[in-house]
Structure 1
Amino acid sequence: MTRTQAATQAGEAATAWRRIADEIEAAIGRGDYEEGATLPSSLALAERYGVHRHTVRQAFRHLAERGLVSVSRGRGTQVTTPRFPYRIGRRVSMRANFGKLGVVGSSETLSTAQIVGDGETCEALGLQEGAALWRVEGLSRGDGTPMGTGIHWLSVARFPGFDTAFRAAGASMTAAFKAYGIDDYVRLSTRLTARLASEREADLLRIEPGAAVMVSLAIDALPDLTPIHLVSSVFAGERMEMVVEPFAE
């Protein structure tokens, strides 16, 4: 193949994916596909348009970047539904956030272990470096759809048997704390960043590897501001939006 032929093919492929993307966008605009509807597969569209599957996938990526569709493992490409607002105030609870929206929140414990805390984690919790910590991993869903996965760190000395308590509480941190006589706690700080999902995160959240995720590193404390809980959470960027309300309860 000559250089001119290669350039011609590349130009045709670029035109093809854009044409497919434009036609799908127009169909969404007309209401041919409702919110949450699953689009035809890349294979089906490739056959319809007489192109390679990669060309269709490029069209899907373009539509995803525009916020019109989301691409999920096992669920295909779906027309984007409104993002869930995740409110961050003095008190933060995913289930409470979802409950206010009429969404059923649920959580699952993925793993629990005792570890030797590193200096940074122990400092955040007000503990001596090397203190024994719980490392608890969980997955949260809204109406059955994975929304976020997180790793929690807590003092073993302060929360003996926390692995059992967390599972018994249905992976609800608020309910687990009540087993230790803690009926109220506040958000001390939240740091938000963004990056691309790892393969494991993508698998857990049912999103494409490399999709955008929001990362939250947060510290919860007793009302007297004694830190008790550090959590690093990863949220599916296409499904969540963070609403910071510093004075909200």
Structure 2
Amino acid sequence: MGEVERGKGVALWSQIGDILAEDILKGRVRQGEQLPSAQELAERFDVNRHTVRRAIAALEQRNLVRTEQGRGTFVQEQTLDYAISRRTRFTQNMRNLNVEADIEFLGDTREVAPSQVAEAMGLGRHEYVFRIETLSHADGHIVDYSTAYFPAARFPGLPAIYRRTQSVTRTLAEFGVSDYVRKHTRVSARLPDAETARLMKQPSNRPVLHVLSINADPRGVPVQYGVTRFSGDWVQLVLMADD
């Protein structure tokens, strides 16, 4: 058991994939555990690294492993069920899942609203917005890379408040917006651009779940336009009924 057989009519990479899959499915290699390097596996099975890479690629297609740039190949953990509802809140979602989470602030800027953002938020052609970029982590893994836009005229000084609170909900509350709801959500799967792949530490040929969203205050006035790229390896989006 655990050795390839030459001349049996089954490709070596396929045999290696089956052996590693059995190790994973029977718990010999635990969720989140790193697999040996391609060189180590090549030596174990007495094959070249190209053969090992084909076996790993087959395991990725079966969603049994994931490969992280610069780190290696890991056994895939159970995905997080991320709820999207009228009141989607990252912190509450993570609390409901009983996982440790944090938000990493990447930066902010004041800029003229991009045309798509201006149209969606009902802003004039030359109105300014604040753009805030963050990375969300759960149990030490990157869950999403997010870009959020807020009307600069309505929320002067918002970036400084966000840096202090690390929370959209608490930040908007300081401007008198005590509640906000999801007005629009659009989900698609797409390949990440180079910057997204770098920040999320994933290959550029692996799709992310791309979510466009608009949050509005109780009067229906948009307060936030968001672009969130979720890791398809870690997150399963769950669309919930209205709150």
TM-score by length of 1: 0.89
State which drifts further: 22-31 or 49-58.
49-58
Single out whichever of 81-90 and 44-53 deviates more from structure 2. Answer: 44-53
In the alignment, which residue of structure 2 is the partner of 1:156? 152
Q: Distance in 1 between matches of 2:51 and 2:198?
A: 24
CA RMSD of superposed structures (Å): 1.6
Task: Name the SS for the 2:73 alignment partner.
Answer: strand
Does the 8 Å CA contact 1:119/1:130 hold for their aligned counterparts? Answer: no
Task: Tell me whether 1:226 sits opposite 2:218 in the alignment.
Answer: no
Aligned-partner Cα distance in 2 for 1:197–1:44: 30
Q: Distance in 2 between matches of 1:183 and 1:52?
A: 60
After TM superposition, the structure 1 = structure 2 runs for residues 200-211 of structure 1, keeping only pairs within 5 Å, are 200-211=195-206
Q: Among 89, 92, 95, which residue is 2:88 paired with?
A: 92
The CA distance in 2 between the partners of 1:189 and 1:246, in whole Å, is 14
- Report deviation, 1:58: 2.0
Unaligned runs of 5+ in 2: 1-7
Structure 2 SS opposite 1:54: helix
Would you say 1:133 and 2:129 are equivalent positions?
yes
Tell me which amino acid in the other structure corresponds to 2:99. V
Post-superposition Cα deviations, 1:32-51, rounded to whole Å, max 9, x if no partner, equal 11211211111111122222
- SS of corresponding position for 1:95: helix
Map of 1:83 onto structure 2: 79
Whole-angstrom distance in 2 between the partners of 1:59 and 1:196: 23
Amino acid at match of 1:58: R
Greater Cα offset, 226-235 or 196-205: 196-205
Matched, 1:146 2:130: no
Q: 1:115 to 1:17 in 2, by over 3 A?
A: same
- Aligned-partner SS, 1:181: coil
1:34 paired to 2:30? yes
Q: Percent identity?
A: 33
Change (3 A) 1:96 1:111: same
**Residue among 105, 112, 116 paired with 1:116:** 112
Q: CA deviation at 1:74?
A: 4.0
* Aligned residue identity for 2:124: Q
Matches within 5 A, 1:169-184: 169-170=165-166, 172-184=167-179
Contact 1:95–1:104 at 8 Å: present in 2 too? Answer: no
Letter in 2 for 1:48: R
Partner of residue 214 from structure 1, selected from 204, 209, 213 = 209
Amino acid at match of 2:13: W
Per the alignment, residue 5 of structure 2 pairs with none
List runs of 5+ in structure 1 lacking aligned partners: 1-11
TM-superposed deviation, 1:152: 0.8
Confirm or deny: 8 A CA contact 1:85 1:242 kept in the other structure: yes
Structure 2 length as normaliser, TM-score? 0.91
